[in-house]
Amino acid sequence: MKKKKETSNKIANKEIIKKIGNQANTVSSFIVEYKTPILIIGGAVLGFYFIKKAREGIASAFDEKSEQVQIDLPIDIKKTTITKTQSKQFAQQLLDASNHMAPLYGTDEATIKEVFLQLKTAEDFKLVYEAFGNKNYNGWNSPPVGIFRHLDNYQPRDLVYWLKSELEPSDGEVYDIVKARVESAGWTFKKDSEIN
């Protein structure tokens, strides 16, 4: 009885192996017959995948992460004389003044002075400082924009750094006004030329 069962199992196994072999032959015949379209479709799928990944990588390389740095200062709102909206406007005016382009590149000291004359308290300056955040600075109309910003040499810097880089003691009154307000908020605003 055992031999009969073993024989029938062997026959069943041979039939299964034969079916699998036939199916494998059919699949391999299909592949051989249609290898060009299969390769084209496979290449297209792989190409699409690599292009998608490359685009994602390029897009993330062009993200401007340093421009999105949040600065969180303890600000006593009761001691401010400007609003948050005004602080954002002043921060933009200071950036534009540092990137002054008409008629020549340079710093628009008059605009910086106008902004700082409106900052009556240290807390006002802190609001503007916070609104400014970190902007990429290279000294030549920073932060650079467009694709060329990736070819530029810059560092994300805060408003105090920008002001210290853009103003000199030789700028006279505007330098003194800015220095007094910045130092009233707790920052040091001395240029190397002032250190004895």
In this predicted model, what pLDDT tens digit does every residue of 101-157 receive, in sequence order?
666 678 899 999 999 999 999 999 999 999 999 888 877 666 666 666 666 667 788
Helix, strand, coil percentages, rounded to 5, for the chain = 65, 5, 30
Q: Is the pLDDT of residue 59 over 50?
A: yes
Q: Find the helix packing angle between 2-33 and 35-61, rounded to 10°.
A: 70
In this predicted model, what pLDDT tens digit does every residue of 78-103 receive, in sequence order?
999 999 999 999 999 999 998 876 66
Whole-number pLDDT of residue 2: 52
